[in-house]
Structure 1
Amino acid sequence: MLPNRPETGRLRDGPDLTQRPVDKGIIMAEALVPTREPRRTGATAPQEAGLLDLEDGDRQFVTALARGLQVLRAFRDASEMLGNREIAARTGLPKPTVSRLTHTLLSLGYLVHGQDGERYGLGPAVLALSAAFLRQNSFPQMAKPYLQDLATAVQAHVALGLLDGLHCVYVQLWRGKGQTITLSSEVGFHLPLACSVMGMATLAGMDEEQRGPLVERLRRESGAEWPALERTMQRCFAEVAEHGFCVGVGIWRPEINAVAAPIHSPGARGIFSVNVSGPAFLMTEAVLRRDTGPKLMETIARMRALGIVD
């Protein structure tokens, strides 16, 4: 049974985040807003805490390799430039360790120097890895024409996301043809499970064996916010079970509303979900439930009829 709605009829999930002014004709969305980090315990940063959990008791676990990959994952946007101090802050790794890792990754082409010679950006070797992934996983390409049609039909931002730890990462995205108001996120953007409707849909699409460990990590890291997060998850799980999609009003940003659905493809590698988002003054809760969500499900049904999705 779904929780009672506010008397205004507008459902708001998650903490009350500060409103930002809207630029003329452009909504500044997820990619320009720093990701809300999980709650920290002591001096251990979130990524380092996850590394320690994996390392514990596993003799096959190569810590040096994991730390190098942590450095690459510290980059939240393909165009972002970071110095060793910033990377150390994001990963929880000691700065001398970060310095050695960035030197190694620079030598191998996974990082490149910025113009100042002090900061780093992602290098071409990372692009080669992402291209190899897309070649091996044909589902995003098969879904492309259908999700582009959806973006045009609803005149909104449509993203195909893939589970990545406690985030969903955009692997493809589309904007409606002729769309005049756009969001600024790009491929590679990471959206937290804990405060996004795409994250809620992703969790809802898993079986309990897959979902349980992630929910437990969210419970540990959310701290005092866990009761509110748990209520949001329960609502979204119920909506996905009943309608196939769930609605988010202000879950990620107050000025952005969205609808999302889990999606499964035969033979696809990973757990996918589709997110349709736009400015709150256009994509109201009523519009999402009455129009956008059903159109999303119609698109998934078209792909299912052709065997592209289960």
Structure 2
Amino acid sequence: MNIKAFIQLMRPANLVTAVADVWAGAAIAGAIPPAFDWRSFLTLSAATVGLYGGGVVFNDVFDAQLDAVERPERPIPSGQVSIEAAIFQGTVLHLLGIGAASLCSLESGIIAAAIAILTLSYDRFAKHDAILGPLNMGLCRGLNLLLGVSLIPELLSDYYAVGFLPIIFIAAITMISRGEVHGGHSRTMLFAGILYAVVEIAQLTFGYMQGHLLEALPLVLIHAFMVFKPLLTAYQNPIGPNIGKAVKAGVLSLIIMNAAWCMAFGAWPLGLATLLLLPFSLQLAKWFAVT
């Protein structure tokens, strides 16, 4: 059994960004260490690993025939992992994610189940649609942020609107990722840049409203530099490799964006802890593909 191939199916560097979503959501709910439920916090962190991991495994299951042509080095088309084994892996990860979230609260379990359903709908149907694909993937991330907010379930009604911002950001990444193999269009990069800017301005606005603008500002600026530099290169020359770098930067920058959310809501301990996830994710990105 090729353990590394099974790990590769889960996109480990991407999993870290999913954990960062939950931490940011917890910060938005007002969970500032040490005064909050550590057990539920860690359980929700584990739940998102199962949900995201299961989603990307099923992505490769449904794309097996396409990957055999475009990405033959991936675990399934290369024969390192069978379709049956991948289906089992994805199913177990999803069930573990829903189960872990349900241990925290009914609301957390419902959100987790919705994420699992949305990941499957994206993998099987929506990803090939120019509008539904980005929207579906964005919904997964938006709900993932709210999964963190569900650490304090009664606050979900107060902060559900924040979940729309990851939808915008992830929709932009998903939109430009369509050109990773065959290249894309400059206008797509331009539109993605506008969506990125909308999210960053919103973060600064929330920081101002919460009285923590100065804490959030440096991280928002770092995030902007991280995503706009490769995006500009892809805009100037929208070939596959340049777009791939822009997509990778967008995915990994989620950690910075989530740390900015923590700072915007005054949860600097969680913000610093989230930042520490970045070098870990970057190291994983050297060992495993980021898509």
TM-score (norm 1): 0.29
Q: Considering only CA atoms, is the larger Rg found in Structure 1 or Structure 2?
A: 1
More relative contact order in 1 or in 2 (CA 8 Å, sep 6+)? 2
Task: Report which of the two has the higher share of helix.
Answer: 2
Task: Report which of the two has the higher share of strand.
Answer: 1
TM-score (norm 2): 0.30
